[in-house]
Chains A and B, each alone.
Chain A
């Protein structure tokens, strides 16, 4: 069944046989349901569980006092809150025989709260006298990056443009809502959690239970999408279930309804950005000053690395001699912000690419011409002082233009506007460039390291051991491909071991577009070890130097004499026969980056991904309705292990970016979320996607990724919104400076555009 070279995980998925966490059955399982705080800020005075405990089927109620270990790290979200800091935060959990009984009994738990003053905007949070969320104040973090002297740069400028932009709170919305099962075993705990970060979740569970890390096995079933969301949220849920499993001695399942997932789970940080751009009459940039205020919500989580990434990338892939970015995240009584596909890039990509478009318009320059003039090229110095190498923007732009025919479409769109009579439909085109640092980078957190092992069996079959999560984008297949390219074996020999933290080494989390580069390299190193061992034997048997050997199609030979070969299977069995170790353990660390954290200057990332997006939209000037008619998304992946998979990733990024541009907005007022399900939180349907969508793969190898590969997952979603919004501005004559560009905002833009243009 299936076919050769398909992804290793898709056959069981298409048959409906893949087991997601909620498909796993456990005997004697109990069900949890979370008791949630109805206030944005409060103190739990008491919890009266008596009525709930008396209800049918209820076994126990757990809360903060039942945690054997620690409730959380300082300023992070606690497993059960005693001072809940946002509406919907969990304070206790009912455990019952059935899900229905558990959910019923939640209403019977009487929690007495002291309501505390709340602050729900970052602006208010930073004012003197604002209610404090954490002892050290409401500044979650503050970072500055840049180079040169912006004052001097502005003095040199012929023009200065100042613009402000707002981006919204976006929800991950994987189609699978979060769920976990904790199964107690003798002196240990097994947790099944669909997380992108097995080791991190295990660490939290261990801290909660007060157990050493080898007493908790974190197992990952099939994951129904993550997009950065199945991270600390899963750590909290896993810990809750594990506490209850410890107390009851029975497996405990905890499942989020979609509403609960939205209510308590992390979101993308909303930003308010101010851009001041100095430029000359000929379009040369002289200075960019960026000020960003982000809403971190109630807890720290991964705000620091999100913040540094935003600051570093905030001036875009442009040559500018003087740049300065000042970024602050504030704590508020909103649900906490965290990693989400793009991880701090989409907010600044939107703001920067729109302001660049606005500058071009002020100059009367074609936005393409403006970008061609200013984008970074090989060995140019970035806005944080990094000398950029393997820069492929020029090639990406050329490929995009080849497909999109920018000048022709721009002219045709202009003609559509000239033809307009009354409030009809008009067209516009827009574009955006993208550069994005790969992996964690030097500014945000500690070392980015990864381990991957491989076991080679007597029969030649291979098991890959990695903790990296297959969240749906095909990363396990990518590892298989790396192994195949290194050892020249057929892929049907390989399986990837299901993730269990007690069996597989720490490969790090599936985040930060690091998997291909960092984990891929660790895989390559593991395979290389096996290859080296085989080379020694093969060289001896074939009588050629080991360095000359090629591993291809399960044969090992000197390319000068391909008929004279030994087989892969023979070498495996020979290694075993000689009592040698045929295992590989690969390790990869991103090292050697020189970055000055205090001044935000230096080698921020070891490598970058590049891309270009172009959009043509049709705007109904009477209603504000936008239809994206044509979209070209070009991404340099360095080396595509599977081009069709890459295209699927790009398409998916376009759909998420299109939602970010036009529909998605978590409506939150005074800490309360209004749209708690797919009926009111709108993501793109098949009908909303551009009829003409071109995902284009560029392969300009880097000197860092395995076989020159670059990461792809996040970049695909980053430059979509600015391309669409710039196209709307071309159509209407007016920029929408706050996302999403919904009916109301686009209509307003259209009306003021009509006033301007007549």
Chain B
């Protein structure tokens, strides 16, 4: 197998990597780049724990070939907060008790981010749709939805 050279931007930093042609983006993020905030829960694109943003859209990184990411911009949960401050979505998750075991949380946060970046004032229904590909076994989603609503308000500069 021939390694594939890929140039991409990961959390704002340019990255050049030689990846196995069949490697999943998930593996490259976790193993090659040590970004272990992105989790694997199913490997078949159903649970959403591996959700990252590719050019602003949320995708399951277990169903993306790393080799196909040439020129793409990837954002993981590690890329949205700084050392000093949480992203408003993360703050809202804490404020609304929207996580318990936390394993699905990075994926949920990224799906909410994909939504709010496009739609700053989403309806409740739009939020539910946006997180419908992120399975959570702990929270029952209600506090996640409330957190998303609250984060939207915060990002719009209200309150």
Contact = CB atoms under 8 A, between A and B. Distances in A.
A695 B143 CA distance: 11
Interface residues of A, number: 61
Contact of B144 (A471, A472, A686): A686
Contact of B44 (A172, A174, A223, A678): A678
Interface stretch (A10-18, A47-55, A481-489, A500-508): A10-18
B139 A652 contact: yes
A16 B44 contact: no
B140 interface: yes
A443 interface: no
Contacts of A654: 140
B142 A473 contact: no
Q: Which residue of A11, A20, A650, A686 has the most chain B CB atoms within 10 A of its CB atom?
A: A686
A683 B142 contact: no
Interface in B34-90: 34-44, 46-47, 49, 76-78, 81, 84-86, 90
B156 interface: no
A706 B124 CA distance: 38
Contacts of B143: 644, 647-648, 651
Nearest to A678: B46
B97 A645 contact: yes
Contacts of A258: 41-44, 47
Given A14-B93, A257-B43, A651 B142 contact: yes
A161 B131 CA distance: 45
Contact of B145 (A471, A686, A695): A686
Contact of A689 (B106, B137, B140): B140
Contact of A16 (B46, B98, B106, B139): B106
Given A2-B94, A14-B99, A678-B47, A648 B77 contact: no
B93 A16 contact: no
Contacts of A650: 140
B41 A652 contact: no
A580 interface: no
Contacts of A11: 94
A1 B35 CA distance: 21
B139 A651 contact: yes
A176 interface: yes
A176 B141 CA distance: 17
Given A174-B103, A655-B140, A677-B44, A15 B81 contact: yes
B97 A644 contact: yes
Contacts of A6: 94
B12 interface: no
B94 A176 contact: no
Interface residues of B, number: 56
A577 interface: no
Nearest to A24: B36
A369 interface: no
A25 to B, nearest CB: 8
A560 interface: no
Contacts, number: 179
A136 interface: no
Nearest to B100: A472
Contacts of B103: 20, 174-176, 224-225, 472
Given A13-B102, A14-B105, A258-B42, A3 B94 contact: yes
A687 to B, nearest CB: 5
Contact of A687 (B129, B136, B138, B139): B129
A472 B138 contact: yes
Nearest to A473: B100
A605 to B, nearest CB: 26
Contact of B36 (A23, A174, A226, A689): A23
Contacts of B98: 648
Given A474-B100, A678-B46, A679-B46, A17 B135 contact: no
Nearest to B90: A14
Nearest to B82: A1
Given A3-B95, A648-B143, A677-B46, A20 B137 contact: no
Contact of B77 (A15, A176, A227): A15
A298 B43 CA distance: 28
A70 to B, nearest CB: 33
A7 to B, nearest CB: 8
Contacts of B85: 1
Instruction: Report whether over half of chain B's contact residues are helix, strand or loop; otherwise say mixed.
Output: loop
Contacts of B106: 16
B132 interface: yes
Contact of A2 (B86, B97, B135): B86
A176 B39 contact: yes
Given A10-B94, A677-B42, A679-B44, A17 B100 contact: no
Contact of B135 (A13, A19, A175, A177): A175
A471 B102 CA distance: 10
A645 B98 CA distance: 9
Contacts of A10: 93-94, 99, 102
B151 to A, nearest CB: 12
Contacts of A172: 137
A170 B123 CA distance: 34
Given A223-B101, A644-B97, A678-B44, A16 B137 contact: no
A235 B97 CA distance: 31
Nearest to B23: A100
Nearest to A6: B94
A718 B146 CA distance: 25
A734 interface: no
A173 interface: yes
B104 interface: yes
A83 B85 CA distance: 56
Contacts of A13: 99, 102, 105
B44 A175 contact: no
Contacts of B138: 225, 472-473, 648, 652
A652 B142 CA distance: 9
A647 B146 CA distance: 13
Interface in A636-660: 642, 644-645, 647-656
Interface string A681-710: 001111101000101000000000000000
Q: Which residue of A1, A15, A645 has the most chain B CB atoms within 10 A of its CB atom?
A: A15
B41 A176 contact: yes
A9 B102 CA distance: 9
Interface string A25-66: 100000000000000000000000000000000000000000
B82 to A, nearest CB: 10
A227 B40 CA distance: 18
B137 to A, nearest CB: 5
Contacts of B36: 16, 19-20, 22-23
B128 interface: yes
A231 interface: no
Nearest to A646: B97
Interface in A160-189: 172-177
Interface string A219-257: 000111111000000000000000000000000000001
A648 B136 contact: no
Contacts of B136: 175, 652, 655, 686
25 contacts: A9-B102, A14-B99, A15-B90, A16-B35, A16-B38, A16-B76, A172-B137, A174-B103, A175-B47, A175-B103, A175-B137, A224-B101, A225-B103, A644-B143, A648-B139, A649-B100, A652-B136, A652-B137, A655-B137, A656-B137, A678-B135, A679-B46, A684-B140, A686-B127, A686-B141
Interface of A: 1-3, 6-7, 9-11, 13-20, 22-23, 25, 172-177, 222-227, 257-258, 471-474, 642, 644-645, 647-656, 677-679, 683-687, 689, 693, 695
Given A16-B78, A652-B139, 15 more contacts: A6-B94, A11-B94, A15-B81, A175-B104, A177-B41, A258-B42, A644-B143, A648-B138, A648-B140, A651-B139, A652-B100, A678-B42, A679-B44, A684-B140, A693-B142
Give the 5 A-B CB pairs with smallest separation, nearest first: A16-B37, A472-B101, A651-B140, A13-B102, A224-B103
